[in-house]
Amino acid sequence: MFSFELIAFDADDTLWHTERLYAETQKKFTQLLANYHDPKWINDRLYQIESRNIQHFGYGIKAFALSLIETAIELTEGKISSKDIQEIVNWAKNMLNSEIELLPYVSQIIPQLSSQYPLMIITKGDLLDQETKIKKSGLEKYFRHIEIVSQKTSESYEKLLKKYSVNPSRFMMIGNSLPSDVLPILNLGGGAVHIPYEITWAHETAEQPPHDHAGYYQLKNLGQLPPLLERIMQNKE
């Protein structure tokens, strides 16, 4: 009978809210610079600076804070006060200390699935921040493996699957990002479930694969996952 060797979940915006935190901070940032530029211009320039800085800083809140500071200096032509820059550093600390809010269905579905399948978390971002969130979530015990990675590419997933001796055809990844959680896995011949979050960071957008692409599924929420997994297992039997 067909069975999954490993079912892996993205964490940020798949198990708990995260992008909301960035969006709230970014709103405060546009208000901070409101005397200099309109929000659209600020957001566009921030996005360019963030994208350019990913090669240096990677993903996560510390990288975001450094890009906010750089953007603020550039867009005010150096007129931003250091009091305001300290405010940006404080936002970063608040983001890192904020409470975890699980997404709907997570607190029921994850324990339930963990009794049926080996589960894993594969998440990217700041190491300490991700570890802290996993601990705070109370979900750690349901996951057999936890991997925090600097990027999610076919290459990095392939390495992980080898490390755990998992056949891609018996692997399923669930996440909110097409370029990070779905496309690289389909590329390896694995299964991927896309559950879009209410906000998508521009950097994480991509064209959807065709709806009939082998192994590709789209769901509205995590509550729909157990029946989907059962259907897949029955069909492949």
Nearer to a copy of itself, 28 or 93 (CB): 93
Residue among 23, 34, 127, 206 that touches a copy of itself (CB under 8 A): 127
CA torsion 210-211-216-219 (nearest 10°) is 130
Check binding of 37 to a copy of itself (CB under 8 A): no
Shortest reach from residue 62's CB to a copy of itself, in Å: 4
Shortest reach from residue 173's CB to a copy of itself, in Å: 19
Check binding of 48 to a copy of itself (CB under 8 A): no
| Distance (Å, whole) CA 51 – CA 203 | 7
Nearer to a copy of itself, 3 or 48 (CB): 48
Check binding of 12 to a copy of itself (CB under 8 A): no
| Distance (Å, whole) CA 147 – CA 150 | 10
| Distance (Å, whole) CA 62 – CA 52 | 15
Check binding of 76 to a copy of itself (CB under 8 A): yes
| Distance (Å, whole) CA 82 – CA 99 | 28
> What mask of x and - would describe binding to a copy of itself in positions 79 to 108, judged by CB under 8 A?
xxxxx-xx--x--xx--xx-----------
CB atoms near residue 12 (< 10 Å) = 25
Nearer to a copy of itself, 127 or 214 (CB): 127
Check binding of 51 to a copy of itself (CB under 8 A): no
Shortest reach from residue 151's CB to a copy of itself, in Å: 8
Question: Which of 149, 91, 98 minimizes the C-alpha distance to 120?
Answer: 149
| Distance (Å, whole) CA 88 – CA 86 | 5
Residue among 37, 45, 58, 179 that touches a copy of itself (CB under 8 A): 58
Of 28-36, 37-45, 59-67, 225-233, the segment contacting a copy of itself by CB under 8 A is 59-67
Number of residues in contact with a copy of itself under rule CB under 8 A: 36
Shortest reach from residue 98's CB to a copy of itself, in Å: 11
Residues near a copy of itself (CB under 8 A) are 53, 56-59, 62-63, 65-66, 69-70, 72-73, 76, 78-83, 85-86, 89, 92-93, 96-97, 126-129, 131, 148-151
